Amino acid sequence: MKKGAVARATNEASSVTVSDLRPYGQSLPLALLRARESVMARLRPFLREHGVTEQQWRVLRTLNEVEEIEVTALADKICLLPSSLSRILRDLGARGLILRRVSAEDQRRGLVSILPPGLDLIREVAPEAVRANQEIEAAFGVERIAALKETLNALCDTLGEGEGVEGES
């Protein structure tokens, strides 16, 4: 291939070429990432102040809503790889925020639940999280956010992957 020439990598199964790609700035994955970053920029500062990462917050928020959950189900629910979740659970356990145990019925299953200090941390962070979400709602609109969540859930349902979009962060 000549230097400077547009690469026309052709898929053997079709006539689709690299030039058929939308500009990356117009891609759906980038638009979703930019939206996520815009939302998380409102949440990161106070999470950081409380010594909690975004992923740890997702774990704690989810554990707050269940009595106990299997580790693999938790990973699926919060869209984390099991290997990443394992490290996060280890860190949260070392801080005394969660409890991990092995299922009595099936030794292969790990179970996790939140401890009182984890609940205390959620209660401490909750007012700031609610305030940040209210600011986002005020800026973008409650109805538009509801419609966006509905649309994103429909996308997930259509593509057959993921848990969908639930409430706020």
CA atoms within 13 A on the CB side of 124: 15
> Is 66 in contact with 50 (CB distance < 8 Å)?
no
| pLDDT at site 107 | 83
pLDDT of 9 above 50: no
For residue range 22-81, what is the model confidence (pLDDT) as tens digits? 888 999 999 999 999 999 999 999 999 999 999 999 999 999 999 999 999 999 999 999
Which domains are assigned to the chain?
A: 28-159 (1.10.10.10)
CA dist list (Å): 109 to 46, 55, 103: 34, 22, 5
pLDDT of 162 above 60: no
Looking at 1-5, 14-18, 99-103, which range is the least confident one?
A: 1-5
Q: Which of 167, 152, 133 is nearest to 62 (CA)?
A: 167
| pLDDT at site 4 | 41
| pLDDT at site 129 | 96
State the pTM of this model. 0.81
Q: What is the mean pLDDT of residues 16-27?
A: 88
